[in-house]
Every structure is written in C-alpha cells, then in structure tokens.
Amino acid sequence: MKSSFWVVLAALGLAGTSGAQDTPRPNPSFSIRLSGPQREAKARSPIEVRATLTNVSDHDFRSGLVLCRECKAGRRSQMDFKVYDSEGNLVPEITHGKRINGRAEDQLDAPVSVVSFAIKPGDFLLEDADLSDEVGPLKPGKYTVQAERRDPYSGGELVKSNIITITVVQ
C-alpha cells in the first residue's frame, strides 16, 4: 500500500527532490512481554506461556479474550504465538490452532465469542496460553517463542514481544 502511494507521487512529479518524506508511524499503543512459568516442559504435556500486554499510550486501549469451547482453558488469547524449532523453522499450527486463530477453512466448527474491555494507560492484561493448543505436542528439543498482535490504534502495526526459549524433554 505504501509503495502504491509513492508510485502515484512519482507519476505526479511530487516525489524525489520535492522533499516528500514518509509520514512517521504512530507509536504502538501497547507493548508485549512474554514469559514462561516453565523453561522446560515434558514432551506431550502442556506448554504454558504468559504474555503481559501493557498500555503504553495516553488513551484507553480496547482488548479482550476469546471464549472458546474447544480450548483447554475455555478461553484464548488474542495474541498470535509463533513457535520456532532449533533451526529457526516455524512450527506449523495444528487444525485446532488454526481454528482458534481464525485461519481454518472450517471456522463454522469453532464457536467463539469475544469479551472486550478497556485497558487504561499504564494498566496491563495478563494472557496465559497453552502452546500445545496451537501447535500440538512438541518433540524433544529447544524451541523459541514470540507473541505478536496487530495494533489497530497505530495503523495495524505488528507489535512483537521478546523471545523466550523453552526446552522440551522426554
């Protein structure tokens, strides 16, 4: 979309030496800090992580939780958790993970509702997730995890968390 803008400006002769600049992107409305109550997990067991979403803006930020009958905890974070193996390859979501993240072809089988609320400036929301809900049981090895979420208040910018490492053992 941004490249289309510059093509139009160039076609009109307004780009280049005219001093046109990129419009600065607004700062994200929130930050994400990822932690794991466990740094080691047994294969074929739940892998719990916690994301802390903090409102770093000067305005209320709307967020929520997805209520999901298929989820083990009965609810699902609005974060997208990316899991990578030791070689940096993205671990693919299982069908259930695609459903709870809204990427499955059979969305009709995934009844969900969202509870929305305001987070005041400086306040935070703790969101716990079981990664095995999304990627299934992991084989023994080292994995890195990062949470991400789009910020509708800053033009849809993708906000990413820190990266944590979890070791899965036999």
What is the per-residue pLDDT across 74-91, written as a single tens digit (0 to 9) for each? 666 678 899 999 999 999
Identity at 145, one-letter amino acid code: V
Distance CA 1, CA 123 (A): 33
Predicted local confidence at residue 105, as pLDDT:
57
Which range marks the domain in which residue 94 is found? 26-169
Predicted local confidence at residue 104, as pLDDT:
53
Is the pTM higher than 0.85? The answer reads no
Distance CA 123, CA 120 (A): 5
Percent of the chain with pLDDT over 70: 69
- Pairing verdict, β 40-42 and 157-169: parallel
Identity at 57, one-letter amino acid code: S
Distance of CA 121 to the CA centre of its chain: 20
Distance CA 121, CA 133 (A): 31
Three-class secondary structure assignment of 56-106: CCCCCEEEEEEEECCCCCCEECCCEEEEECCCCCECCCCHHHHHHCCCCCC
Of residues 149, 134, 130, 145, the one with CA closest to residue 54: 149
Locate tokens 């780009």: which residue?
A: 15
Question: What is the pLDDT of the chain when averaged over all its residues?
Answer: 77
Q: What is the DSSP string of 4-33?
A: HHHHHHHHHT-SSTT---PPPPPPPSEEEE
Percent of the chain with pLDDT over 90: 36
Predicted local confidence at residue 142, as pLDDT:
95
Section 67-80 average pLDDT: 70
Q: Has residue 19 been placed in a domain?
A: no
Predicted local confidence at residue 103, as pLDDT:
56
pLDDT tens-digit map of 122-164: 999 988 888 888 888 889 999 999 999 999 888 889 999 999 9
Q: Has residue 109 been placed in a domain?
A: yes
Q: Has residue 8 been placed in a domain?
A: no
Q: Has residue 13 been placed in a domain?
A: no
Q: Has residue 33 been placed in a domain?
A: yes
Compute the C-alpha angle 100/29/98, nearest 5°: 10
pLDDT tens-digit map of 96-119: 555 555 555 554 445 567 788 899
Section 51-59 average pLDDT: 94
Q: Has residue 7 been placed in a domain?
A: no
CATH for 101: 2.60.40.2550
Q: Has residue 5 been placed in a domain?
A: no
What's the number of domains the chain is made of? 1
Q: Has residue 16 been placed in a domain?
A: no
